[in-house]
Amino acid sequence: MRLSSLTGDAAEIVSTLIERSGLGTPSLRLGVTGLSRAGKTVFISALVHTLLHGGRLPLFEPASSGRLAGARLDPQPDDAVPRFDYERHIAALVDERVWPDSTRMVAELRITLDYESATFLGRTLGRGRLHLDIVDYPGEWLLDLALLDKDYATWSTETVARMRARPPLAESQAFLAAIEALAPEAVEDEAEARRLAGLFTAHLKARRADPEALASDPPGRFLMPGDLEGSPALTFAPLVPTEGERGSLAAMMARRYEAYRNHVVRPFFREHFARLDRQIVLVDALAALDHGAAATRELERVLADVLAAFRPGRLSWLGGLVDRRIDRILFAATKADHLNHRDHDRLEAILSRLVAAAIERAAFSGAAVDVLAIAAVRATREATVRRGSERLPAILGTPIAGETVGGETYDGATEIAFFPGDLPTDPAAVFGRREGDGALRFLRFRPPQLERSADGLRLVLPHIRLDRALQFLIGDRLA
């Protein structure tokens, strides 16, 4: 083991010891995880905005009981990590009524909470304080964690098989044609490696841009290369067959794949993912349901790959002073405001089915697990509409400009009443449902127009069960 690794591990142990021993203000590192488009940026922005401005949180006990004395943003602990741009994202939500840009890099934000203890002894010792450090990172990088348990041959075989099985994209077909034309004895060649890597990157970009795609394929840094652009660690592609003698193109690709795992994925896991205390996993299950059983099964597979990298478990008191484990995991189905509340329990049941294996593994290791249907920002209200003699539970909202249903395209300014359909009562049914079955249809809605109070102050963002999420994730640390 290198000296740098030893000193890095020692520094992390010392930092954890200080935070957990009471020698400094305790901190809690919350990882906000989810595939692309699951709503990570919106969740973080809404959570922080609600804590800072005293939003409605009846099920977050420290707030509802009056024990939460205040919240403020403080400088984050990691100087080498970009700050989460909270102010810009909130301006997009509140002032422009547009959804903020997706996560493009690892980012961090610290919000410090002052509170009164719930116990007599705690109140006697004085006001408590907790640093909540929120860590955000791109969904594409999250998918890379699955590569830690796959060698080049396994990754190549699985990747090429998925490309052949999916509906064809022109970019995917171009890459498959290129690798099928390779001679088995092809020797290593930098120009050829760059050509194949370029074709493979074009496939990844096309896959990412496909509105029906629930997730990109790894490697995620091919889409967000940063200062690694053009490096050998980002100049490889899957080949089938994958074996080759020393000096072959296949051996060259395998070597560069290992470099990617060692210099990109493992440092990300070690420096960010492995340091988390709590985790919320955001899942856009409605997008999968909108596209049918094949998309739902694909989401289940991707989530299984990702969640295998988690380090759940409850540490002993002494172990907790020097090590970190994720001791609470919340699986949250986002965009619950796209459904009437009568379907929220069904959405939670479907999410539980999607992550059943991960829930079982986390619970076995001692971590607490919960499943919720949430909307960090509620973009709709509820209503009832008539269809013939039927009264249907509907939602009211303003569709994003360009959204289309029933041959009508919306302008981004008109509010409508919409019935998205009913979710099945049996969660297993969604894995056998074909696209279009059950007439499910989900529109994208603009963020809400915030009302102002009698004194002219703008009210905080409405939500669905953000208070329950906060209670599960941090409520015990404010007791």
User: What angle do helix axes 190-209 and 170-180 make, rounded to 10 degrees?
Assistant: 150
User: Model pTM?
Assistant: 0.86
Closest by Cα among 363, 334, 337 to 351 = 334
Closest by Cα among 288, 281, 14 to 145 = 281
Using alpha carbons, list the distances in angstroms from residue 409 to 209, 271, 330, 396, 405.
Answer: 21, 46, 36, 16, 7
pLDDT score for 298 = 84
Low-confidence ranges of the chain (pLDDT < 50): 1-8, 10-11, 13-14, 18, 20-22, 315-323, 436, 438
Please answer whether residues 259 and 251 qualify as being in contact, where contact means their C-beta atoms are separated by less than 8 angstroms: no
CA distance 285 to 336: 10
CA distance 13 to 113: 24
pLDDT 10s digits, 227-273: 888 899 999 999 988 777 889 999 999 999 999 999 999 998 888 88
pLDDT score for 22 = 46
pLDDT score for 305 = 79
pLDDT score for 129 = 94
pLDDT score for 135 = 94
Please answer whether residues 464 and 382 qualify as being in contact, where contact means their C-beta atoms are separated by less than 8 angstroms: no
CA distance 282 to 245: 43
| Tokens 């909540």 found at | 132
pLDDT score for 43 = 97
pLDDT score for 63 = 95
Using alpha carbons, list the distances in angstroms from residue 235 to 21, 217, 226, 477.
Answer: 45, 16, 14, 45
| Tokens 């795992």 found at | 261
Please answer whether residues 338 and 400 qualify as being in contact, where contact means their C-beta atoms are separated by less than 8 angstroms: no
Tokens of 455: 């004194």
DSSP characters for 44-83? Answer: HHHHHHHHHHT---TTSHHHHTT-EEEEEEE--S-TTSPB
Cβ neighbours for 350, distance < 8 A, ≥ 6 positions apart: 285, 289, 333, 423, 427, 430
pLDDT score for 434 = 57
Q: Is the dihedral of CA 140, 142, 144, 146 positive or negative?
A: negative
| Tokens 């005293």 found at | 54
pLDDT score for 318 = 34
97 secondary structure, DSSP code: -
Q: Is the dihedral of CA 210, 213, 218, 221 positive or negative?
A: positive
Torsion on CA atoms 42, 46, 47, 52, rounded to nearest 10: 150
Please answer whether residues 243 and 153 qualify as being in contact, where contact means their C-beta atoms are separated by less than 8 angstroms: yes
Please answer whether residues 469 and 280 qualify as being in contact, where contact means their C-beta atoms are separated by less than 8 angstroms: yes
Please answer whether residues 76 and 136 qualify as being in contact, where contact means their C-beta atoms are separated by less than 8 angstroms: no
Please answer whether residues 235 and 194 qualify as being in contact, where contact means their C-beta atoms are separated by less than 8 angstroms: yes
Using DSSP bridges, classify how beta strands 27-34 and 416-418 pair: parallel, antiparallel or unpaired: unpaired
Please answer whether residues 143 and 213 qualify as being in contact, where contact means their C-beta atoms are separated by less than 8 angstroms: no
pLDDT score for 127 = 75
pLDDT score for 351 = 95
Tokens of 143: 């998918």
Domains recognised in the chain with CATH numbers: 3-137+272-378+465-478 (3.40.50.300), 147-261 (no CATH)
What phi, psi does 212 have (nearest 5°)?
-90, -5
